[in-house]
């Protein structure tokens, strides 16, 4: 299959602006202290290994995976219905088409569908909290879900994670692979969150907070939030030599 983006494949990738990404060692986020490498990272030539990667299409999805708010049998999850809607682009504003987005989250009580989440909050039998979408040719995606609850982090002195959604994206290659989290505007816990505040650059941090946007919601049914994602991309001008 030939599309416009393929003519871009051999262009050079931008390197990450360090302040736009959280450093591995973020002492307030305690477990980074023994999991962040001590040694500097080595340069990796950007070869075919890095400029290729797994690609996905709509055909990889099962019907309605974008909708987390009902289970397979059609039973409704408990919580405030919300739409998450946005565009995925690369750094130069080109749409990231056919990009797989995986979403996972806690239920409205702040509990994950996971054996290791043993805290005393109720599970919701109608909410698994996992969904997938593939962007269209404009880079557009949309999820229907319920707003997750905040949850306390064990043995942390009553530190609570703000409501957040986890997102995993592939883009066109190994170079654009990333996993992130997004947050709700105006939540008082955002200010106190060690993971969100691990990002040094103020603008980069703010871009992880969704925008309340009634236009992308569903009238008298679901609130709307807009969240745009920028993946690492290639320079607009091909490198010569």
Using CB under 8 A, which residues numbered 176 to 235 contact other proteins?
177-181, 195-196, 198-199, 201, 203-205, 207-208, 229-233
d(CA 52, CA 171): 10
Instruction: Among 114, 122, 137, 211, indicate the residue that binds other proteins (CB under 8 A).
Output: 114
As measured in angstroms, the least distance from the Cβ of 37 to other proteins is: 6
If the CB atoms of residues 81 and 178 are measured against other proteins, the closer one turns out to be 178
State yes or no: residue 108 binds other proteins (CB under 8 A): no
223-226 and 81-90 beta bridge pairing: parallel
Contacts of 61 (CB under 8 A, 6+ apart): 132, 133, 134
CB distance 79 to 146 below 8 Å = yes
Give the three-class secondary structure for 217: coil
Among residues 29, 151, 183, 225, which one is catalytic?
151
- DSSP label at 204? H
Span interacting with other proteins, options 76-84, 106-114, 136-144, 215-223, rule CB under 8 A: 106-114
23 binds other proteins (CB under 8 A): yes
Number of residues that bind other proteins (CB under 8 A): 82
Binding map of other proteins across residues 136-155, x = CB under 8 A, - = no contact:
--------------------
- CB nearer to other proteins: give 131 or 224: 131
Q: How far is the CB of 208 from other proteins (least distance, A)?
A: 6
Q: Which is nearer to other proteins, 74 or 241 (CB)?
A: 241
Which tokens sit at 201?
């650059």
Q: Does 238 bind other proteins (CB under 8 A)?
A: no
Question: What's the min distance (Å) between Cβ of 70 and other proteins?
Answer: 17
Regarding 130 and contact with other proteins (CB under 8 A), the answer is yes
42 vs 224: CA distance, rounded Å: 43
Instruction: Give the number of other CB atoms < 10 A from CB of residue 25.
Output: 13
Encoded tokens for 173:
């290659």
Rounded Cα distance between 223 and 145, Å, is 10
> Interaction with other proteins in 33-92: which residues (CB under 8 A)?
33-39, 41-45, 47-55, 89, 91-92
CB within 8 Å of 154: residues ≥ 6 apart: 119
CA angle 53, 199, 92 (to 5 degrees): 50
Catalytic residue among 112, 141, 183, 225: 112
The residues carrying an active-site annotation are 112, 151, 161, 164, 166
């Amino acid at each position: 299959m030939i599309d416009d983006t393929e003519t871009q494949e051999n262009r050079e990738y931008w390197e990450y602006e360090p302040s736009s990404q959280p450093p591995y060692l973020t002492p307030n986020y305690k477990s980074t202290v023994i999991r962040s490498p001590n040694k500097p990272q080595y340069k990796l030539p950007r070869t075919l290994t890095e400029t290729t990667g797994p690609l996905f299409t709509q055909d990889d999805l099962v019907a309605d995976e974008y909708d987390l708010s009902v289970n397979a049998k059609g039973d409704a999850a408990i919580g405030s219905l919300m739409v998450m809607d946005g565009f995925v682009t690369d750094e130069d504003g080109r749409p990231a088409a056919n990009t797989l987005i995986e979403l996972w989250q806690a239920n409205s009580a702040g509990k994950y569908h996971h054996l290791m989440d043993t805290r005393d909050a109720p599970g919701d039998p109608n909410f698994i909290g996992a969904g997938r979408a593939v962007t269209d040719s404009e880079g557009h995606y949309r999820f229907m879900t319920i707003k997750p609850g905040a949850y306390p982090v064990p043995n942390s002195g009553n530190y609570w994670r703000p409501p957040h959604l986890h997102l995993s994206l592939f883009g066109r290659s190994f170079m654009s692979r990333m996993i992130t989290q997004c947050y709700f505007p105006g939540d008082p816990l955002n200010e106190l969150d060690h993971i969100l505040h691990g990002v040094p650059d103020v603008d980069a941090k703010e871009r992880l907070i969704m925008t309340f946007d009634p236009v992308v919601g569903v009238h008298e049914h679901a609130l709307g939030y807009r969240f745009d994602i920028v993946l690492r991309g290639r320079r607009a001008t091909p490198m010569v030599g």
